[in-house]
Amino acid sequence: MENSAVAGKTGVEQGLQLCKVCGNHSISKTAPNHCPTCLNPISVRTKNSLQKTWAFLITAMIFIFPANLYPITYLLKNNIRYPDTIFSGILSLMDSDMLTIAIIVFIASIVVPIFKIMALTFILLAIQYRWRFSRKKQLWIFNIVDWIGKWSILDLFVISIMVAVFDKGQLLSVYPGIAASSFTIVVLTTLFAANSFDTRLIWDAKK
Ligand SMILES: [Zn+2]
């Protein structure tokens, strides 16, 4: 193939671009905007990838606070509202001898979102400030974040578990609090942040 890659040179230096639709690669000089094979819009790197990823990530960083500090559920019992944050919910699950569910809720609603935000922030900073940190390890960390993203529906499912568990079949009235929408925003924005990130930027950051 005429577009064969040259060892020791990055894809950007060679103007190599990969089509995400048909998987063929081409050279940006000969095919500047569209894939010559399937005519899909194409560019050497995802446009504004870092800016988009930062924007979603910063939104997630902001909303993780109300998600954890405000009540995620309200229990209405004898006309009194009992608020529960994610953390107090986990504690009451433990009190009710539901340790396994408490651990699942803790991992899905506290550990995973914080890990995703910290890992993506680390990779973005490593790229921007050209930290001397193994690029293979950066990609490996990103792949974990991306893999967890596939399970994001579990994070949202957790809210329903909490509502169902607190209800305990006693026909109590449980309502979602403001933290529920904040938590949903955190789940979605971390997902979008990972999707906007172009992993090839890791290899572009020359040391
Ligand atoms: Zn194509």
Q: What is the CATH number of domain 49-204?
A: 1.20.140
Residue ranges, CATH 1.20.140, the chain:
49-204
Task: Convert the pLDDT of each residue in 136-171 to its tens digit.
Answer: 999 999 999 999 887 777 777 776 776 676 655 565
Task: Look up the pTM and report it.
Answer: 0.82
**Is it the case that residue 1 has pLDDT exceeding 50?**
no
Query: In the prediction, which pLDDT does 77 show?
Result: 78
Interval between CA 201 and ligand 1 midpoint (Å): 21
Interval between CA 3 and ligand 1 midpoint (Å): 14
Interval between CA 13 and ligand 1 midpoint (Å): 21
Tokens of 78: 């004898």
Taking a 5 Å cut-off on Cβ, the residues next to ion ligand 1 are 19, 21-22, 35, 37-38, 40
